Structure 1
Amino acid sequence: MGLSELGLGIVWTNFNSSAGTWGCMSNYFPGMNANGTRRGLKRNGTAVITDNFYIIKTSSDIDYGKVGQIEQSIYLSEGDPDNTIMGDLYSIYFHGDIELSKGGCSVETHKAVDMGNVSTKTFKGVGSVGAEMPFTITLSECEGDAVNVLLDLEPTYGYADKNNGVIALSDEEGAASGVGIQLLLNGQKINGNAEHLTWPFQKGVTTIPFSARYYQVADSVQPGAANSTLVFYTWYE
């Protein structure tokens, strides 16, 4: 029995340090897209490529108690500016069995945080911050024997300051510069180098308290739109 028959699927995301952004690569699994894609690798120097894979729920009808097989290959090749394949960079093949037991939570699919209007006069130097704007990630209908909820964060535009958990602003026209958005979990700054965040699992409803604030990352701050997005992935242990 394959994953799709269990009501599951695989998401593949990829971060290229040369481009500085995460990209969803799932539609480039072999056989799904004949044209391929380029990730903007440098001709000289070093590029670090990070691949993450997630098993996700794709159907409301989950076949608990059944065993499914995972078998997937991926290939990343180098292309010239015309997208002509020059050779394989690396390949990954993974396989195994997955047995589904009932557990986990229903997760909010979208969360908008209003950061308000902040004057550039608020920022006095690198590391100065604006007011905290609290928000929560609510997991409902939680059941099972998990102890912790694990969260993995993927900022769409990367980090402006990874050590201090500051995500970069969008590159839209008229965007502000010199600041990013710092994320805090339960009042404590997030380390973007950490493998994941951990929060205690609660049966019924698990509420995870976050807050966000603007954080100065450069010597000068220019006004403009200061928006960003990121993706939360959750799993349980």
Structure 2
Amino acid sequence: MKYKLMTSTIASLMFVAGAAVAADPTPVSVSGGTIHFEGKLVNAACAVSTKSADQTVTLGQYRTASFTAIGNTTAQVPFSIVLNDCDPKVAATAAVAFSGQADNTNPNLLAVSSADNSTTATGVGIEILDNTSSPLKPDGATFSAKQSLVEGTNTLRFTARYKATAAATTPGQANADATFIMKYE
């Protein structure tokens, strides 16, 4: 009798334990992180394309021997700012000004720097030119030539290049950042 009682008790315990193991786990919620959403509503003739708002222009790699005199330049590298949903009835033209750290030797150029703790090139700056090949001082106030707007999408074209600020240059990274300001008239 004791044996049957013990066997049935063990069987019951195993059934209860098995049921506990087989039950669905209790849901757990934990903080997973943060997502930042950014944007802007503008009361303007156009909206800047998200692809143009944050872009990288690769100027390339050049030998220091290419810069033998102040004013030597590299090839112009094209880039553009795309405007969407333009309404020329609101404004007929658009112009752009760039703002960034100016070169100490030539304030018409962007100063170069390195993205990390590596060596920064010296003796060069970055020149931005508008669609008429006019240089744009990176002061946030020198605007490009006005470009006429059409209904819908418009592409404003620019170029950038390295320009020597000294007769001799030293190797290193030659990066720069600039923000841009739109003017509609």
TM-score bin, normalised by smaller chain: 0.5 to 0.7
Deviations, residues 98-136 of structure 1 (Å, cap 9, x unaligned): xx5x73223321111011111111111000011111111
Determine helix, strand or coil for the equivalent of 2:65.
Answer: helix
- The question of whether the paired residues in 1 share the 8 Å contact of 2:114 and 2:174 is answered with no
Q: Equivalent residue for 1:219? A: 167
How many residues align? The count is 138
TM-score, normalised by the number of residues in structure 1: 0.52
1:209 positional shift:
1.0
Question: Structure 2 counterpart of 1:138, which letter?
Answer: V
Structure with max Cα Rg: 2
| Cα distance between partner residues in 1 of 2:103 and 2:93 | 26
Q: Equivalent residue for 1:168? A: 111
RMSD: 2.3
Question: In the alignment, does 2:44 pair up with 1:105?
Answer: no
Q: Equivalent residue for 1:150? A: 95
1:210 aligned residue (155, 158, 163): 158
Moved more, 114-123 or 168-177: 168-177
- The question of whether the paired residues in 1 share the 8 Å contact of 2:102 and 2:109 is answered with no
Task: List runs of 5+ in structure 1 lacking aligned partners.
Answer: 1-56, 63-99
Question: Structure 1 counterpart of 2:86, which letter?
Answer: C
Runs of 4+ residues deviating >6 angstroms: none
Query: Quick check: which one's helix share is greater?
Result: 2
Matches for 1:7-46 after TM superposition, within 5 Å: none
Same amino acid, percent of matched pairs: 26
Question: Structure 1 counterpart of 2:109, which letter?
Answer: V
TM-score, normalised by the number of residues in structure 2: 0.66
Q: Equivalent residue for 1:67? A: none
Q: Equivalent residue for 1:178? A: 123
Task: List runs of 5+ in structure 2 lacking aligned partners.
Answer: 1-38
Question: Structure 1 counterpart of 2:143, which letter?
Answer: H
Determine helix, strand or coil for the equivalent of 1:149.
Answer: strand
Q: Equivalent residue for 2:75? A: 131
Query: Quick check: which one's strand share is greater?
Result: 1
Determine helix, strand or coil for the equivalent of 1:234.
Answer: strand
Indicate the structure whose relative CO is greater, using CA pairs within 8 Å and at least 6 residues apart: 2
2:61 aligned residue (117, 123, 127): 117
Determine helix, strand or coil for the equivalent of 2:75.
Answer: coil
- The question of whether the paired residues in 1 share the 8 Å contact of 2:136 and 2:143 is answered with no
1:195–1:211 CA distance, 2 compared to 1 (3 A): closer
Q: Equivalent residue for 1:43? A: none
1:141 aligned residue (85, 96, 99): 85
Question: Structure 2 counterpart of 1:58, which letter?
Answer: K
| Cα distance between partner residues in 1 of 2:98 and 2:152 | 23
